Amino acid sequence: MASSKTGMAPTESVSTADKLTDAAQSVTDKVSDTATAVKQKASDAGRQATEHINSKRGPAADALEGAASKIHEKAGSLPGGDTVQSAAHSTAEKLQSTADYVREHDVKSMLSDVEEIVRRNPGPSLLIAAAVGFLIGRAFRED
């Protein structure tokens, strides 16, 4: 018996509807599988980046500590008197403090600290982000 609108038998239209439903489900499954694979790759890349950064924390802290030591050594011979020497020692102490922080905190806790600073100081954080973006843009410009 033919359908009045399509000219097909009811079993033919059900079969076509089933095929379309199956095709749609197949596309949905493929998209879902692809999204899962992309999420997994992004997660793996993030984990590898974190591990790489964490492996470089010690050498970075050592370099900061070395710079602090050199500044302390040279501060006494800087021209400019007590003010310059005091500034140099203060800078060296900040470098040493940064070296200690880098040694003691992993990437996750450093990111958490940055998020907290940004949350407490949104204005200055935006200015710093804009300045860093500008400098990175200038560095990659091909003029």
Residue ranges of the alpha helices (H) in 1-121?
10-75, 81-104, 107-120
Q: Is the dihedral of CA 66, 70, 75, 79 positive or negative?
A: negative
Question: Both tokens of residue 61?
Answer: 């802290």
Render pLDDT for 97-107 as a digit per residue (tens, 0 to 9).
999 999 999 99
Render pLDDT for 24-72 as a digit per residue (tens, 0 to 9).
899 999 999 999 999 999 999 989 998 998 899 999 999 999 999 999 9
pTM, 2 dp: 0.62
Cα separation of 22 and 127, whole Å? 53
Q: Cβ neighbours of residue 114 under 8 Å, at least 6 residues apart?
A: none
